C-alpha cells in the first residue's frame, strides 16, 4: 500500500510541476512570435533585425541560464533538507550575482556595441534598426537575468502557478505594447521598431519586479538572505561547480548549432534551400518539444529535493518515472504530428522547395524524438543533482566529436545532401543518450549534491 501511495504521489508531483511549465514556455514562445509578426508588418528589415539580435541575446543570456541552473540545484536541495536559512542565503546569492552579471554585461555591451554588430556581420541596411534593438536589449539584460533566476528559484520551491500568472501578465503587456506603440493600433502613436523595443523592455521589467515581490512574500528575501562573506565564498563555490559546466554546455551547444547551419548551408547541392528548410523545421521543433523542456525543469526540482532529504533511492526513482512519462507522452504526440507534417510545413512557408525540405527534416526529427526527449530529461536529472559536468561532457562528445564531423562527412562526401546532416543528428543523439543513461545507472552522480555542505 505504501509503495502504491508513494508512486501516486510521485506521478502527481511530476504532473503538477510540469503542466504550468509547459504553459509558461508556450507564453514565452507566443511573445516572441508576436514580436516577429508585428515586426513583419513594419518592414522586412525590422523583422530581420529582431532575429539577428535575438541570437545575440541568447549568447548574452548564457550566464543567467547557468546561474538559474545553479539556483535550481542549491535551493531545491536545501529545501528538501529542511535547511530554510541555507535556501534563503542561496536565493540572495544567486539574485545578487545575477543582477551584477546582468549589469556588467549590459555596460560592456554598451561600450562595445559597434563591435558586437560587426561581429554578427550585420548588413549595412540593417544597422540602424539592429543598433536600436541591441541597445534596448542591453538595457533589459539585468531584468532578463532577474526574471530567469527568479523563475528558477520559485520553481525550486514548487511555486509554479504564480510565475505562470506573471508570465501571462507580462506577455499580455508585451503584446499590447507591440500592437499599440509598434503598429499604432487603437489610436495610439505608431513608433515602429522603437515601439516594439520599448514594449519588450517594459514587459521584462514588469515581470521581474512582480517576481521579486513574490519571492519576498514567500519568505526568501529576509535579512539573512544576504549571507556573510565566509559563507558566500563556500556557497558561491558550489554554485560555480554547478554553473560553470552548465555554462560550458550552453556554449558547446550554441557554437555547435551555428556550425551545423554552416555545414548545411555549404552542402554541394542546394545548400541554401536545405538551410531554409532546416531553419523552418527547427522552429516547428521548438514548439513541439516545449513539453520536453518542461519535463526537464520539473525533474531537476524533484531530484534536487529528494537528494536534499538524503533519499538517493527516490531521486533514482523520480528519474526513471520522468523518463517514462516524457518519452511516452512525447512519443504519442509525435505519432499524431507525423500525419500532420505536411500541414505544419505549409503553415510555415509558402515556398514548395522549403516546404519539402522542412518535411524531410521533420521525418528525421520525429524518428529521433524519443531519444531527444530522454536526453533532455537526463540533463534535468543532473542539473537537480548539481552534476552538470556530466551534461557538459555529453554535449562535448556527442556534438563536437560525433555530430559535427559526421555531418560534414555524410553530408558533403557520402550522401551529398541534407540527409547526411540529419542522420548525423540521430546518431549523435543516440551516442549522447548512451552516455547519459550509463551515467544514471552506474556513476555516482548523487555525490555532487549539497549534503553536508554550505550550512
Would residue 190 count as lying in a domain?
A: yes
Can you give the pLDDT at residue 221?
Answer: 85
Dist CA 37 CA 372 (whole Å): 29
Would residue 154 count as lying in a domain?
A: yes
In contact, 354 and 273? CB cutoff 8 Å: yes
Please give, one letter per residue, the 3-state secondary structure of 71-139: HHHHHHHHHHCCCHHHHHHHHHHHHHHHHHHHHHHHHHHHHCHHHHHHHCCCCHHHHHHHHHHHHHHHH
Can you give the pLDDT at residue 7?
Answer: 75
CA angle (164 as vertex; 184, 241 as ends), nearest 5 = 115
Can you give the pLDDT at residue 455?
Answer: 46
Dist CA 224 CA 222 (whole Å): 5
Question: For residue 3, is pLDDT > 70?
Answer: no
Check whether residue 31 and residue 71 sit in a common domain. yes
Would residue 398 count as lying in a domain?
A: yes
Which of 197, 227, 257 delimits the end of a domain?
Answer: 227
Check whether residue 329 and residue 195 sit in a common domain. no
Would residue 235 count as lying in a domain?
A: no
Phi, psi of 350 (to 5 degrees): -85, -10
Which of 227, 256, 273 delimits the end of a domain?
Answer: 227
Dist CA 211 CA 196 (whole Å): 23
Question: pLDDT category, 272, cuts 50, 70, 90?
Answer: low
CA angle (372 as vertex; 165, 239 as ends), nearest 5 = 60
Question: For residue 454, is pLDDT > 50?
Answer: no
Check whether residue 160 and residue 290 sit in a common domain. no
Residue 391, Ramachandran bin (φ over 0: left; ψ between -120 and 50: alpha; else beta) = alpha
**Residue of 291, 296, 349 lying closest to 323 (CA atoms):** 296
Check whether residue 203 and residue 119 sit in a common domain. yes
User: How far, in whole angstroms, is CA 222 from its chain's centroid?
Assistant: 29
Q: Which range (24-38, 191-205, 380-394) has the least confidence? A: 24-38
Question: For residue 276, is pLDDT > 70?
Answer: no
Question: pLDDT category, 11, cuts 50, 70, 90?
Answer: confident
Would residue 233 count as lying in a domain?
A: no
Check whether residue 352 and residue 406 sit in a common domain. yes
Check whether residue 212 and residue 268 sit in a common domain. no
Check whether residue 152 and residue 31 sit in a common domain. yes
Residue 331 belongs to domain spanning: 241-455
Hey, is 102 helix, strand or coil?
helix
Question: What's the number of domains the chain is made of?
Answer: 2
pLDDT (mean) for 319-336: 89
Check whether residue 172 and residue 254 sit in a common domain. no
Which of 227, 262, 295 delimits the end of a domain?
Answer: 227
Question: For residue 306, is pLDDT > 80?
Answer: yes
pLDDT (mean) for 17-22: 85
**Residue of 317, 293, 295, 314 lying closest to 305 (CA atoms):** 314
Check whether residue 192 and residue 285 sit in a common domain. no
Check whether residue 183 and residue 275 sit in a common domain. no
Check whether residue 296 and residue 437 sit in a common domain. yes
Question: For residue 212, is pLDDT > 70?
Answer: yes
Would residue 67 count as lying in a domain?
A: yes
Would residue 11 count as lying in a domain?
A: no
Dist CA 365 CA 358 (whole Å): 10
Would residue 8 count as lying in a domain?
A: no
Check whether residue 179 and residue 246 sit in a common domain. no
Q: Where are the alpha helices (DSSP H) in 192-311?
A: 193-217, 229-265, 271-288, 290-308
Q: Give the chain's mean pLDDT.
A: 86
Amino acid at each position: 500500500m505504501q509503495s502504491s501511495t508513494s508512486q501516486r504521489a510521485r506521478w502527481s508531483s511530476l504532473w503538477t510541476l510540469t503542466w504550468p511549465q509547459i504553459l509558461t514556455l508556450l507564453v514565452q514562445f507566443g511573445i516572441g512570435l508576436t514580436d516577429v509578426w508585428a515586426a513583419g508588418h513594419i518592414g522586412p528589415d525590422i523583422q530581420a533585425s529582431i532575429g539577428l539580435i535575438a541570437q545575440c541575446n541568447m549568447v548574452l543570456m548564457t550566464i543567467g541560464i547557468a546561474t538559474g541552473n545553479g539556483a535550481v540545484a542549491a535551493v531545491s536541495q536545501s529545501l528538501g533538507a529542511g535547511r530554510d536559512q541555507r535556501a534563503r542565503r542561496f536565493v540572495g546569492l544567486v539574485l545578487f550575482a545575477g543582477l551584477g552579471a546582468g549589469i556588467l554585461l549590459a555596460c560592456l555591451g554598451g561600450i562595445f556595441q559597434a563591435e558586437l554588430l560587426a561581429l554578427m556581420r550585420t548588413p549595412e541596411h540593417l544597422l540602424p534598426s539592429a543598433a536600436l534593438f541591441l541597445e534596448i536589449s542591453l538595457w533589459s539584460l539585468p531584468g532578463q537575468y532577474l526574471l530567469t533566476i527568479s523563475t528558477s528559484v520559485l520553481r525550486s520551491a514548487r511555486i509554479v502557478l504564480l510565475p505562470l500568472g506573471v508570465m501571462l501578465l507580462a506577455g499580455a503587456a508585451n503584446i499590447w505594447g507591440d500592437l499599440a506603440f509598434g503598429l499604432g493600433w487603437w489610436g495610439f502613436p505608431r513608433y515602429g521598431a522603437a515601439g516594439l523595443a520599448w514594449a519588450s523592455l517594459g514587459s521584462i521589467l514588469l515581470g521581474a519586479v512582480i517576481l521579486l515581490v513574490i519571492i519576498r512574500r514567500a519568505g526568501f528575501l529576509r535579512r539573512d538572505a544576504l549571507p556573510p562573506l565566509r559563507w558566500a565564498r563556500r556557497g558561491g563555490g558550489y554554485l560555480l561547480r554547478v554553473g560553470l559546466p552548465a555554462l560550458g554546455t550552453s556554449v558547446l551547444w550554441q557554437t555547435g548549432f551555428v556550425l551545423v547551419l554552416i555545414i548545411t548551408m555549404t552542402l554541394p547541392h542546394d545548400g541554401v534551400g536545405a538551410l531554409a528548410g532546416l531553419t523552418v523545421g527547427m522552429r516547428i521543433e521548438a514548439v513541439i518539444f516545449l513539453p520536453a523542456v518542461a519535463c526537464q525543469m520539473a525533474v531537476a526540482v524533484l531530484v534536487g529535493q529528494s537528494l536534499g532529504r538524503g533519499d538517493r533511492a527516490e531521486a533514482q526513482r523520480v528519474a526513471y518515472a520522468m523518463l517514462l512519462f516524457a518519452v511516452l507522452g512525447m512519443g504519442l504526440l509525435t505519432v499524431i504530428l507525423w500525419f500532420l507534417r505536411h500541414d505544419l510545413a505549409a503553415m510555415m512557408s509558402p515556398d514548395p522547395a522549403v516546404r519539402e525540405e522542412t518535411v524531410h527534416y521533420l521525418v528525421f526529427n520525429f524518428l529521433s524524438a524519443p531519444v531527444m526527449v530522454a536526453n533532455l530529461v537526463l540533463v534535468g536529472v543532473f542539473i537537480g543533482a548539481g552534476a552538470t559536468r556530466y551534461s557538459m561532457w555529453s554535449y562535448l562528445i556527442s556534438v563536437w566529436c560525433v555530430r559535427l564531423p559526421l555531418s560534414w562527412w555524410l553530408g558533403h562526401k557520402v550522401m551529398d545532401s541534407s540527409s547526411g546532416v540529419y542522420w548525423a543528428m540521430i546518431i549523435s543523439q543516440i551516442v549522447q543518450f548512451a552516455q547519459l543513461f550509463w551515467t544514471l545507472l552506474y556513476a555516482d552522480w548523487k555525490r555532487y549534491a549539497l549534503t553536508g555542505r554550505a550550512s
